[in-house]
Structure 1
Amino acid sequence: MVTRLVFQTVVWLVCMSALLFGAAGTLAWPAAWWYVIELGVLTLWVGLWLARHDPALLAERLSPLVQQQQSRWDRIFMISVAVAWCGWLILMAFDAMRFHWSAPLPVALVSLGSVCVFLCIFMCRFVFQANSYAAPVVKIQASRGHKVIDTGLYAHVRHPMYGAALLLFVGTPLLLGSWWGLAVVPVLVAGMGWRAIREERLLAAQLDGYTDYMARVRYRFVPFIW
């Protein structure tokens, strides 16, 4: 399992690097190097923790983004996300390095971006600790005894991993120095919100106790906001 984790992480980082540096037209982009290294180190940190404490969840996290158990809408969504993510990285590389469409970001904002990326992965670690069913795809994991989780971060918001993803969405363009990338963030958030609503409909219909959980925990991503 650890070998698979390392292999998939390396492949993912190589693909991201190819998109970023290829679109930038140069390897002399320190912010992109830091972004790739930070994501790689933090991903391996969480993955190795899962390998020790919850290998079943790690297996789910390493599974393909398109699976037979998924609803058709979620398969389409995940494919769209993969395409959008690649396009977003290319856009930020064009903006920050190749064409310089927007002014450079202040160092303080770039540093804030790095902090946001760290906090995203750090929060995901606590999500995984609370929820052994936090698969990357929307499905009912009946074979693993899927049940409602209402402890940890789930006691405050219904989708804490999506809340953590908000930090990644903001942190990525800040760290890479792209105002254009930051301008795309509302579109990404809207897509994630749409998925959360569809996911809740499926869980309410197929997972015992989820409707009651929704009544107890009012907010989806951020307490007191939404």
Structure 2
Amino acid sequence: MDDTTLWRRAFWGLARLAVAMALFVFVPAGTLGYGRGWVFLAVFLGASLAVTVRLLRSDHALLERRLKAGPTAESRPLQKVLQGLAGLGFVGVLVLPALDVRWHGPRWSWAVSLGGVVLVALGYGIIARVFQENSFTAATIEVGAGQTVTTTGPYAVVRHPMYAGALVLFLGIPLALGSPWGFGASALVALTLVGRILDEETLLVRDLPGYEAYRRQTRYRLIPYVW
């Protein structure tokens, strides 16, 4: 993919994400005066833009892998189902808190919501660090040509640090939006991450030389001292 096409696809995808997320937040809320929604979207989309720009400058191959995403991009049937469920969870974690705030008002103080925003930023920071360490973090489950096992940085702590960052991010969203209603959708996303990890490790043990040894060396998959 040439540079111009990559830039166009990356920013068009980001623009569509921004529009979709704004609709999922503000339409259920019934108002544009949803301050927590604006703060959350500014941080989430700002982090997305920063990561996209960095990849455009330093790692086109990784950005191309990340642009190939979603259920239809997966080759494994189970992953198609899991990605579909994760997509529903992503929509739910935005829509449900917005509905709750519309009908009942924010459940928490601004201090709690700002704490949620910090978790969103922290989750994105973990993901960005993973991208820096491993250029093969595709959005689909596959082993790329020339891929080797990454054991450094966050991969020395857990085997799937990108999913750990996503878990932190999705725990922060309901707090940021001011409602516990989103935690049910966050739980759905967490369950899909568990299923995705278990299936992915089957592929990696089979197709990525050295992964079995790495799995024995790095005990925890997602959360240190837990799992």
TM-score (norm 1): 0.92
Is 1:205 equivalent to 2:209 in the alignment?
Answer: no
Select which of 92, 99, 103 maps to 2:103: 99
> Counterparts of 1:1-226 in structure 2 under 5 Å?
1-67=6-72, 70-96=75-101, 98-100=102-104, 104-142=107-145, 145-226=146-227
SS at match of 2:71: coil
In the alignment, the residues of structure 2 paired with residue 171 and residue 201 of structure 1 have an alpha-carbon distance, to the nearest angstrom, of 30
The one-letter amino acid of 2:85's match is S
The one-letter amino acid of 2:103's match is F
- Post-superposition offset of 1:154: 0.5
Question: Retained in 1: the 8 A contact 2:124–2:165?
Answer: yes
The one-letter amino acid of 1:35's match is F
In the alignment, the residues of structure 2 paired with residue 220 and residue 9 of structure 1 have an alpha-carbon distance, to the nearest angstrom, of 30
- Post-superposition offset of 1:27: 1.1
SS at match of 2:181: helix
In the alignment, the residues of structure 2 paired with residue 181 and residue 65 of structure 1 have an alpha-carbon distance, to the nearest angstrom, of 22
Corresponding pairs, count: 222
Of residues 102-111 and 213-222 in structure 1, the stretch that sits farther from structure 2 once superposed is 102-111
Of residues 104-113 and 181-190 in structure 1, the stretch that sits farther from structure 2 once superposed is 181-190
What is the CA deviation profile of residues 174-208 of structure 1, one whole-angstrom value per residue up to 9, with x for unaligned ones? Answer: 00001111344333322211211111111111111
TM-score (norm 2): 0.92
Task: Provide the identity percentage.
Answer: 34
In the alignment, the residues of structure 2 paired with residue 140 and residue 65 of structure 1 have an alpha-carbon distance, to the nearest angstrom, of 17
- Post-superposition offset of 1:106: 2.1
SS at match of 2:51: helix
In the alignment, the residues of structure 2 paired with residue 68 and residue 224 of structure 1 have an alpha-carbon distance, to the nearest angstrom, of 33
Q: 1:150 to 1:117 in 2, by over 3 A?
A: same
Q: 1:68 to 1:15 in 2, by over 3 A?
A: closer
Question: Retained in 2: the 8 A contact 1:2–1:48?
Answer: no
C-alpha RMSD over aligned residues: 1.6
